[in-house]
Structure 1
């Protein structure tokens, strides 16, 4: 009997209870609506914001990379220009140094020629003065010798002696 009652009890319970199923279905739909409104909606909003943030950070990083590449290229160009300018400056300085060296050498040669010519002129003037002085002395000696000869008549030997004396006197005067 006990088995019969269990079988009958199980059969009664085996019938579908549509009221409970319907109630559970309505509660499940309400629960889904509440989850969508209070959990799924905000969660999807946060996920959308996170996606936009990551997307904007990727875009910003890409822009930064492009800008860094551009700046690097500009720096390379500036460095290249600076090297070229430095080469030009060194070349110009070398050329200017060569020009100045040539000018200094030319000026020195010109000055040396001028000094040489001035020295030649001075030597010529000194020579002329020396010749004039010798002529004056010879003339005065000639006059002196002539006056002495006139004062006394001398022999050839005396004349030689007298001339030698006057020459020695003239040498001492000098």
Structure 2
């Protein structure tokens, strides 16, 4: 029996390992692994799978959010560009409208100046006509006066010429 006891204890000098204890421990370890695999490993793997899917979903959502953010940024950039173009167009339109308005004002001022000149010419013409009419009236009255003087006395051709020259001189002084 000693040899059997010697066989069941290996390296007794080092603390001794008993084969029976080892086999018992190995059996219980295998039973423990089977139980863990049956009751704990499946649910644990299910939780790990759910966690993996959740993380993958979050990554996908983050990618979508990033893509949407990039798209929104591109749209905002495009809209800003369009807004700048519209602002530039409004500025150019305002400048051209200002230039047109300036030209209209200048043309209107020229037309008004021409109208004033024409009005002044007409007024001058009217005044000239009045002066001529007044002069004609004076000439007529002087002619009547000369005629009455001629009738009062008979004059010679030389006296008549002197009267006409005197009349022309008087008419020239009245202008």
Tell me the TM-score normalized by structure 2: 0.70
Q: What is the CA–CA distance in structure 2 between the aligned matches of 1:40 and 1:16, rounded to whole Å?
A: 34
Query: Structure 2 stretches of 5 or more lacking a match?
Result: 1-8, 154-175
| 4+ residue segments displaced more than 3 Å | 6-10, 137-143
Alignment: residue pair count: 140
RCO comparison, higher one (Cα < 8 Å, 6+): 1
Match of 1:121 in 2: 129
Q: CA shift at 1:28, angstroms?
A: 2.9
Match of 1:156 in 2: none
> Any residues of structure 2 matched to 1:142-153 within 5 Å, and which?
143=151, 145=152
Q: Could you say what the CA RMSD is over the residues aligned between the two structures, in angstroms?
A: 2.5
Q: What is the CA–CA distance in structure 2 between the aligned matches of 1:70 and 1:9, rounded to whole Å?
A: 82
> Any residues of structure 2 matched to 1:1-174 within 5 Å, and which?
7=12, 10-12=17-19, 15-17=22-24, 18-30=26-38, 31-37=40-46, 39-140=47-148, 143=151, 145=152
Query: Structure 1 stretches of 5 or more lacking a match?
Result: 1-5, 147-174
Q: What is the CA–CA distance in structure 1 between the aligned matches of 2:16 and 2:119, rounded to whole Å?
A: 143
Q: What is the CA–CA distance in structure 2 between the aligned matches of 1:55 and 1:15, rounded to whole Å?
A: 54
Q: Cα deviation per residue 1:123-161 (whole Å; 9 max; x = unaligned)?
A: 001000011122223434555x55xxxxxxxxxxxxxxx
Tell me the TM-score normalized by structure 1: 0.70
Q: Which moved more, 1:79-88 or 1:7-16?
A: 7-16
Q: CA shift at 1:54, angstroms?
A: 1.0
